[in-house]
């Protein structure tokens, strides 16, 4: 029986796609004079900031690039962070049925909390696994395993929901079934290669994959 749900954050619970893309492009152009396409940046969605920026610069340059990214991102966070339809209602339903909810993200904890609080989602989250919580990150299973540890659940008792290939690989590596949202910024064919266990048009579709939960939602 499913007792908990693990969610990725960016691109799954909150829409920060444009915020992330613009933050990377601004940083790389202003600091390194590099013009990087949207498509190239999207290909790195899901991995930690320092790993993505580290692809373009030396170890010595990295701290300044991270600083630039975070300053730009923070200044535009509240303006460019948006909600996805049905997310808050789905979380309310899951909590009302007694399920535990964890967020598993490669973001720093304070930034993740900021996005969740902005969209009034933080109150529904029992556990937040951020960048600081593990030495390894998605697509490694370590963040998912850490969430299981915090929730005191085993892999058969949870489902994970994400929007990227990294989410599916991380979940499957930990023995957890993983679904993908169809509003993902990734091309469907790219996601299908990872063999997700189910697809969600919105998070309001989740109850059909969880035994014993009423699918009727009262607004």
Q: Which residues are catalytic?
A: 8
Name, in order, each residue with C-beta under 8 angstroms of 127's C-beta and a sequence gap of 6 or more: 100, 101, 102, 103, 147, 150, 151
Q: Using an 8 Å Cβ cutoff, are 76 and 25 in contact?
A: no
3-state helix, strand, coil in the chain (%, to 5): 50, 15, 40
Q: Using an 8 Å Cβ cutoff, are 219 and 10 in contact?
A: no
The CB-side HSE value for 201 (13 A sphere, CA atoms) comes to 3
Measuring CA to CA, which residue among 67, 70, 171, 97 is closest to residue 129? Answer: 171
In this structure, what token pair is assigned to residue 169?
């690989």
Q: What are phi and psi of 139, to 5 degrees?
A: -85, 5
Q: Where are the alpha helices (DSSP H) in 81-160?
A: 87-96, 109-118, 142-151
């Amino acid at each position: 029986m499913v007792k908990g749900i693990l969610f990725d954050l960016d691109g799954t619970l909150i829409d920060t796609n444009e915020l992330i893309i613009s933050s990377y492009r601004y940083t790389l152009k202003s600091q390194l004079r590099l013009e990087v396409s949207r498509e190239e940046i999207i290909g790195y969605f899901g991995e930690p900031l320092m790993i993505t920026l580290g692809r373009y610069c030396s170890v010595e340059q990295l701290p300044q690039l991270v600083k630039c990214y975070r300053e730009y991102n923070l200044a535009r966070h509240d303006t460019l962070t948006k909600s996805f339809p049905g997310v808050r209602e789905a979380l309310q339903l899951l909590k009302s049925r007694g399920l535990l909810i964890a967020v598993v993200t490669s973001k720093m904890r304070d930034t993740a909390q900021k996005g969740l609080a902005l969209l009034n989602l933080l109150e529904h989250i029992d556990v937040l696994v951020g960048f600081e919580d593990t030495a390894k990150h998605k697509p490694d299973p370590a963040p998912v395993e850490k969430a299981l540890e915090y929730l005191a659940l085993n892999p058969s008792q949870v489902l994970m929901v994400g929007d990227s290939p990294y989410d599916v690989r991380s979940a499957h590596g930990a023995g957890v079934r993983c679904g993908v949202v169809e509003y993902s910024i990734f091309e469907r064919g790219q996601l299908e290669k990872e063999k997700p266990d189910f697809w969600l048009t919105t998070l309001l579709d989740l109850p059909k994959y969880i035994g014993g939960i009423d699918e009727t939602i009262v607004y």
